[in-house]
Structure 1
Amino acid sequence: MAVTLADVAARAGVSSATVSRVLNGNYPVSGSTRERVQRAVEELDYVVNGQARALAAATSDLVGVLVNDVADPFFGILASALQTEIGAGAAQRGGGGKLAVVCNTGGSPEAELTYLTLLERQRAAGVVLTGGAVESEEHTAAVRARLVRLAASGTRIVLCGRPPLTGPDDGPPVTTVTFDNRGGARRLTEHLLSLGHRRIGYVAGPVERSTTRHRLEGHREALAARGLGPDTPEGAGALRLTVHGSYDRPSGYDAALELLRREPRLTAIVAANDSVALGVCAALRDRGLSIPDDVSVAGFDDLPFSADACPALTTVRIPLAEAGTRAGRLAMGRQSPPPGGVATITTELIVRASTAPPVTSGS
């Protein structure tokens, strides 16, 4: 027979209401009483009925974490940090941790909406959406509608690695932990320009993603500042030397070959992220080109393998674990929202051996 709340109360010599207060942590209880209740819980191996608690309260013990691809190190690092913070204290009886459920959307806008609906049905205590947003008015409106309903039921909503939610002023209360993708990309391209590169190829991510747009904008801002904008004679190749693809290694491989076809005298390639950069490096090697002697290569994110690549990869560092931890604290209400509801995570240029001045002068 399952142990009930009344059984715990009888063992501890208190009322059922007091047991409930101790387990929920929502009402002051004396230290000695709390210890008696927790000892009774452990002795009887009492397990809280999560469904009953969810019905009695506004939300459940569940926090949903939406990622594009949990196998991608970028999202894996974010999800791991989020899960650790969300579950902190869960191993202790009466602890404050909750159950983090990682929802893998596969980059599908439809899957993202479906998961938000399912989390609403489960009365999730929190929802964290990670990674770039799909830039579609229809999809943005649909996401907003679901977030409005979630917020109305008491769910804390955090965007991590996304731009702030735009739209009507009466939208849901959302806290945003965004990354300085534009500034990081600008500094990365400035680094290549300072080395003397002028024919720079760019492997961008999917067209519809906000991260893709922001990083590409930063790249082109740096070119324009050096008089290499697409509307100038010397910078006319900026648009021609941009290839879009997925955020993965095969996309980088194919894009590098396409860029070399368009401009055989290419001296540098900027990749959408570090995984794409690995594909770029593989394609260059297969073409008999040396990195960085023939072509310099740069990535973005500073994923764990970047320092061990051969040559070590120049990239832009995003403190992903730190960002995930911060988003987890916000989702759990352990940290106050930043002013205006938006916190920007700064990025850092990491220069390694994959970039060097072009061999041919005046290139």
Structure 2
Amino acid sequence: MVDPTSSDRPTMAEIAHAAGVSLATVSKVWNGRADVSDRTRDRVEELLRVHGYRGRRQWHTEAAGTVDVIFSEIDCAWEGEHLRGIEAAAHEAGARVVVSSLDRGETARRQLLQRLRAGRTDGAILATMTAAGPLVAALNRLNVPVVALDPLRAPAGDLLSVDAANFAGARAATAHLLELGHRRIGLVAGLDQLLCSRARLDGFLAAHDEAGVPPDLDLVEHGEFDFPSGIAAGGRLLDRSVPPTAVFAMSDYMAIGVYEAARLRGVSVPDQLSVVGFDDLPGARWAAPPLTTVRQPLREMGALAVRTALGLAGGGVLDTQLVVRESTAPI
């Protein structure tokens, strides 16, 4: 419960607890969103008034304020595509974007928190990282709206998030291979603990179930979402006594690694091995052969994260799309 005698400003989380609603609901009321019942709005507004809540709401004036985009690291095309969408949406809203990466150690983390405590941000996007722990707790104490973009693990509490339809995308990719007649389908999967890996594995299994084709779980290999993992996992699959006729890789980088593993063994794609990726990064169409893959709307995800951080949207899951090119063929 909010303590009205406390000299500290109440946090949005404390207001939510006192009102018996989610943090997202308080954020919607504070930012004037319409999708809240009148009764709930009245209760939250009364608590905001009584307890003198003075969080950041600068985007209702001429300038939209500042959005902090925080990565655990920036080292691949995913982050670049997210940032292109973030920049475009921020420009449209008149907002300033500050990008930080936490891979520079504890000093970088402390400097980030010091700047946030100075009240120099109006929303924070935690991009492709685990949206939990001390950083999220600190942001909540500072009344900073937090959005998880493409989170690695399930976001803490009722944190708003933006993600892609990983399950549906993997199901579509696998169904495509099954429709081409493939029955021994290898899977180059991400790490088990990652949210997207589990959803894509579930989609892979669901497609088999819907087709009445039992999956061969001995043909599942795991690794990082990178090129070396694709080479290693693809090699292990192709070195089996009875190798798969098709491989679904959970990232485009992995898929191109499978291409290389096939090339090293004299296996032709798609004549002897069909390959499907996941992401549709800019280089996928220029691969040899052009890669069949699942398009993640990475730029659109970045744009939605900005609008959510500014209180203009409520997060969500964006659709994926199978893009059929030249790396798959009938068996």
TM, length-normalised to structure 1: 0.66
Structure 1 unaligned segments of length 5 or more: list them: 1-55, 90-95, 135-139, 230-234, 359-363
Cα 1:244–1:115 shift into 2, 3 Å = farther
The equivalent residue for 1:158 is: 147
CA contact (8 A) 2:270 2:329 kept: yes
Q: Distance in 1 between matches of 2:114 and 2:329?
A: 50
The equivalent residue for 2:324 is: 351
How far apart are residue 323 of structure 1 and its match? 1.6
CA contact (8 A) 1:68 1:104 kept: yes
How far apart are residue 192 of structure 1 and its match? 0.2
The equivalent residue for 1:199 is: 184
The secondary structure found in structure 1 opposite 2:259 is helix
CA contact (8 A) 2:55 2:143 kept: no
CA contact (8 A) 1:203 1:270 kept: yes
Corresponding letter in the other structure for 1:256: G
Cα 1:212–1:165 shift into 2, 3 Å = closer
Confirm or deny that 1:130 pairs with 2:127.
Answer: yes
The secondary structure found in structure 2 opposite 1:158 is strand
The secondary structure found in structure 2 opposite 1:297 is strand
How far apart are residue 300 of structure 1 and its match? 0.4
Q: Distance in 2 between matches of 1:264 and 1:111?
A: 51
Corresponding letter in the other structure for 2:224: S
The equivalent residue for 2:204 is: 219
Confirm or deny that 1:75 pairs with 2:75.
Answer: no
Cα 1:72–1:158 shift into 2, 3 Å = same
Confirm or deny that 1:303 pairs with 2:281.
Answer: yes
- Deviation track 1:92-118 (CA, whole Å, cap 9, x = no partner) reads xxxx42232232549x9x999878756
Q: Distance in 1 between matches of 2:107 and 2:292?
A: 34
The equivalent residue for 1:182 is: 167
Q: Distance in 2 between matches of 1:203 and 1:250?
A: 12
The equivalent residue for 1:209 is: 194
- Deviation track 1:255-285 (CA, whole Å, cap 9, x = no partner) reads 1111122354310011111111111101101
Cα RMSD (Å): 3.0
Q: Distance in 1 between matches of 2:111 and 2:229?
A: 27
Corresponding letter in the other structure for 2:313: S
Q: Distance in 2 between matches of 1:149 and 1:68?
A: 16
Cα 1:181–1:57 shift into 2, 3 Å = closer
- Deviation track 1:221-252 (CA, whole Å, cap 9, x = no partner) reads 112223334xxxxx4x32x1111111111110
The equivalent residue for 1:336 is: 313
1:246 to 224, 229, 232: 224
Corresponding letter in the other structure for 1:354: S
Q: Percent identity?
A: 35
The equivalent residue for 1:63 is: 67
Q: Distance in 1 between matches of 2:232 and 2:108?
A: 28
Cα 1:70–1:267 shift into 2, 3 Å = same
Q: Distance in 2 between matches of 1:128 and 1:63?
A: 7
Corresponding letter in the other structure for 2:248: V
Number of residue-to-residue matches in the alignment: 271
Q: Distance in 1 between matches of 2:322 and 2:174?
A: 10
Q: Distance in 2 between matches of 1:189 and 1:145?
A: 38
Q: Distance in 2 between matches of 1:256 and 1:249?
A: 10
CA contact (8 A) 1:83 1:100 kept: no
Q: Distance in 1 between matches of 2:111 and 2:193?
A: 20
The structure with more radius of gyration: 1
Confirm or deny that 1:282 pairs with 2:260.
Answer: yes
The equivalent residue for 2:33 is: none
Corresponding letter in the other structure for 1:153: L
Corresponding letter in the other structure for 2:287: A
Confirm or deny that 1:315 pairs with 2:293.
Answer: yes
Confirm or deny that 1:273 pairs with 2:270.
Answer: no
Which structure has more relative contact order (CA 8 Å, sep 6+)? It is: 2
CA contact (8 A) 1:186 1:221 kept: yes
CA contact (8 A) 2:69 2:97 kept: no
CA contact (8 A) 1:120 1:149 kept: no
CA contact (8 A) 2:295 2:320 kept: yes
The secondary structure found in structure 1 opposite 2:239 is helix
Structure 2 unaligned segments of length 5 or more: list them: 1-53, 59-64
Q: Distance in 1 between matches of 2:235 and 2:152?
A: 32
Pairing of 1:113-128 with structure 2 (within 5 A): 117=113, 120-123=116-119, 124-128=121-125
